[in-house]
Amino acid sequence: MSKGLIHHVEINVSNLENSVAFWGWFLEKLGYELYQTWNKGRSWKLGESYLVFVQAEEIYFDVSYHRKQVGLNHLAFYADSREHVDLITWQLRQKGISILYKELHPFAGGKEHYAVFFEDPDRIKVELVAPG
Ligand SMILES: [Zn+2]
């Protein structure tokens, strides 16, 4: 029964190589598997849903992404547990990826919301949240 669940999300990226390194690492930590590969894109699938990353064409580079503008603000994923959030947070730091809302971490989303927030290479915000 997949009715209504997200089938896929497709995101244009400025540099496919950078995005593949980042998203491949993160999504595979969450159990996603590489699903499709072609010269302009890559996708990863978990269950019935997949995420697609496609190299944007240079002619569209002059309008850059900003999550405060109209459009996507962030993508949030379930972690396994609070410990899992902590492990990924540690690994993000090891990789030199900065954590957002550091002073509030891991409760930047509220007292009952154990999560880490960070950015992908195009500064799309990503959230990993422990189940409640
Ligand atoms: Zn959120």
Q: What angle do CA 8, 10, 16 make, to 5 degrees?
A: 135
CA of 127 relative to ligand 1 center, distance in Å = 6
- Which residue range forms the structural domain that includes residue 109? 73-132
Q: Are residues 88 and 39 in the same domain?
A: no
Around ion ligand 1, residues with a beta carbon closer than 5 Å are 76, 127
Q: What is the CB neighbour count within 10 angstroms for residue 61?
A: 9
CA of 76 relative to ligand 1 center, distance in Å = 6
Spatial neighbors of 28 by CB under 8 A, at least 6 apart, are 34, 44
| pTM score | 0.94
**Rounded distance between C-alpha atoms, residue 75 and residue 121, angstroms:** 14
| Structural domain contains residue 50 | yes
pLDDT in tens, the chain (132 residues): 789 999 999 999 999 999 999 999 999 999 999 999 999 999 999 999 999 999 999 999 888 889 999 999 999 999 999 999 999 999 999 999 999 999 999 999 999 999 999 999 999 999 999 998
Q: Are residues 54 and 83 in the same domain?
A: no
CATH number at residue 1: 3.10.180.10
